Structure 1
Amino acid sequence: MVEQVALLLIGFSICAAAIILAGSLSIYANSAGGRISRASGRLLIAGLAVLQWMHWDALAGGVDRVGSPVYIILLFVVAPAFYLFFRGALQLEAAERPWHLVFYAPLLVAGWLQPAIAIPLSFLCGAAYAIHLGVLVFRLREQRKRFQIEMFALGVFAGIAVAVLALGLALPFLGLRAFVLAYSSMIGIASMLAIHVLLHFPDIATKAEEAVNTTYAVSTLDRVDREAAASRLHALMDDQVFADETLKLSGLATMMDLTPHQLSELINTRFGVGYSRYIREHRIAAAQRMLLAEPEASVLSIGLAVGFTSQSNFYAAFREITGEVPGRYRTRQASGG
């Protein structure tokens, strides 16, 4: 039974990797990181998919490649790839420095080590990377109230990473087969969580960028007429620029002759919310008006008209801001409630 569950999770994670790498669910479009970070993200997903294929072979009675030089090299690839991808999202000013490739240096000796040494060592390297990522996430603690869901998701991923690290270090006491069962299952669970987050919070990368900007950035508005900028922002919202589903922080900043950091700081300091929340609030306010003014229009058509890309995103944002779903809001308002 345990092996069957592990095989199901392996199959799911391989399919999820294919979907993400094909771009159907992109985690790169709004990623704060640069080329190294994005390339590491793709390498991470591809490396985990190949590891899962090897786990499948080992559990299903095929060729057991666990502990082979290729397997060990992949273990030494996914740890720094995980680190560099998430570092790019959590520390903008250092996201693209070429010297960060030094984190892949353990690969130079990975293929020469015995599995009993190499596998725990790869997880020890991962532990060092995870500790540093934990420090970066801890620095974002002041943003918990603005980014509760996103910070919770990051915390869950961090918890899975810690469990995986503990598993690797416990290998000498578990044996290879138990290790494969547990490790492949954890990768599968992490894949399920990643798909869930990408489906329900497609702008999580943008929100993470806002949290980082708010935490690390020095004020960029010293030479900006804040009142004039706020008035210009109000005018753009009155023109319903938020209805453009492709609108991003950088695009809106260009309309206002500001940098993305300046606009992000303006919205944070003036309205006490991040850019994504600010845009969602305007979209939902417009949707509320349309729900009452156009009773024959479908809920989906209204959601798309105000800038949401899917019904699920519209429903999630509407519930987040109003506490109820669009249909219930329309019915209650129409009945005088």
Structure 2
Amino acid sequence: MHALAILFSGYSLFGALVVAMALFADEDLRETPRARGAGLVLLLVLASLQLMHFLYLQYHADWLHAPAYRMALFTAAPAFYLLVRPVLLGSPDAGRRDLLHFLPALAAGFLPMETALPLSFLLGAAYMIWLGHGLWSLRRQRHRFRLEMILLGIIFFVALGTTLLGFYLPARNAPLFFSLYTIAIGLGFLLTSMLLVLRPGLSGNIAEAAREARASTLGRVDCPAALKELQRLMEEEKLFLDPELSLGKLAARLSLGPHQLSELVNSHLGKSLSRYLREYRVKEATRLLVEKPSRAVLSVGMDSGFSSQSNFYEAFREITGMTPGNYRKLHRSGSPES
């Protein structure tokens, strides 16, 4: 158990960097900068907890009684809530009121460890109940992302089990508990990394499903006309070529709200808006790869509306099943057979 905890503590430090890069690359989170900021705070806090766990388990350094450790314990749950809230609820940033969630973390530095630890798990349990309710609301959408729901469910139950153990095990066998706690955080990083690799654009897809689970926002919208105008904006004005095109900007051009546009695309076209834009950008990239054989592949991606090389390659492989370079080689003569 001790060796496994040490292994997961080291993995978590690198896993935090991977997940942080994914947060910056997630196009859907651009609309909620405070949520992305909360995600970075969460990663920093979890990485710090793992480092202090490693020092305690490996070198018996007593970081667990430091005020910084107690404050980190109380920061993780609200940071996770602020990261996930826009995805599950579509709730906008609440501005300075969001900072109220971190008031317990400020007070935690003055509490004794024997009191702070169970209180932090009580706080975490409250946020987990909220998360469980949000996941339950998506039960009718589970056919759309079975794998995601399974992995998210595993993360939820691992966190729940750790929370329950946190109420009585530390006083009886602290090394065992903090080994289990370290492994639980490491598993969270591992499963999250798997989701990011296997399901790019997951946050956008879940957000779309969550909006569908709530009341429709399209009651007074002329959906056929809006879809026709959306198609015109893409095919005639080629708005998808703008790498800074956001949900809000596109919705404004259609005289719709952001949630209305998301629901419109999802319910009538069967895909998320981010997927819709990626398909147009990849289509443009395939044209340029064939018609402009001397142009660099990266230049093609930038000219097709992608904001980075990694986004371009990821989307291209997702939609065509091959890399841009291989696509160009396969279609260089205009036909795979020639």
Query: TM-score with structure 2 length normalisation?
Result: 0.76
Q: Counterpart in 1 of 2:216?
A: 218
Q: Which runs of 5+ in 1 are unaligned?
A: none
Q: Counterpart in 2 of 1:25?
A: 24
Q: Counterpart in 2 of 1:51?
A: 49
Distance across 1 between alignment mates of 2:131 and 2:65: 28
Q: Which amino acid aligns with 1:211?
A: A
Q: Deviations over 1:29-52 (max 9, x none)?
A: 8266685x5665454333323322
Q: Which runs of 5+ in 2 are unaligned?
A: none
Report which stretch shifted further, 19-28 or 121-130: 19-28
Q: Which amino acid aligns with 2:29?
A: N
Using a 3 Å threshold, how does the CA distance of structure 1 residues 28 and 104 change in structure 2: closer, same or farther?
A: farther
- Cα RMSD (Å) of the superposition? 4.0
Using a 3 Å threshold, how does the CA distance of structure 1 residues 70 and 112 change in structure 2: closer, same or farther?
A: same
Report which stretch shifted further, 310-319 or 83-92: 310-319
Distance across 2 between alignment mates of 1:307 and 1:174: 58
Superposed, 1:1-337 pairs within 5 Å as 3=2, 6-7=5-6, 9-14=8-13, 17=16, 25=24, 30=29, 35=34, 40-61=38-59, 63-68=61-66, 70-93=68-91, 96=94, 98=97, 101=100, 105=104, 111-113=110-112, 115=114, 118-146=116-144, 151=149, 154-169=152-167, 171-172=169-170, 175-194=173-192, 203-222=201-220, 224-238=221-235, 239-332=237-330, 334-336=335-337
Quote how far apart the aligned CAs of 1:311 are.
Answer: 4.6
Distance across 2 between alignment mates of 1:194 and 1:75: 20
Quote how far apart the aligned CAs of 1:205 are.
Answer: 3.8
Asked if the contact 2:241/2:303 (under 8 Å) is kept, the reply is yes
Report which stretch shifted further, 53-62 or 155-164: 155-164
Quote how far apart the aligned CAs of 1:133 are.
Answer: 0.6
Q: Once the two structures are aligned, what percentage of the paired residues are identical?
A: 38
Query: TM-score with structure 1 length normalisation?
Result: 0.77
Quote how far apart the aligned CAs of 1:263 are.
Answer: 1.6
Give SS of 1:25's match.
helix
Q: Deviations over 1:185-223 (max 9, x none)?
A: 33234335545656776744444433333332432351x
Distance across 2 between alignment mates of 1:205 and 1:229: 25
Quote how far apart the aligned CAs of 1:177 are.
Answer: 1.5
Task: Report the number of matched residues.
Answer: 333
Using a 3 Å threshold, how does the CA distance of structure 1 residues 107 and 168 change in structure 2: closer, same or farther?
A: farther
Distance across 2 between alignment mates of 1:21 and 1:95: 20
Q: Which amino acid aligns with 2:216?
A: V
Q: Deviations over 1:134-158 (max 9, x none)?
A: 1112212334455566656644543
Q: Which amino acid aligns with 2:230?
A: L
Q: Which amino acid aligns with 2:275?
A: R
Using a 3 Å threshold, how does the CA distance of structure 1 residues 231 and 27 change in structure 2: closer, same or farther?
A: closer
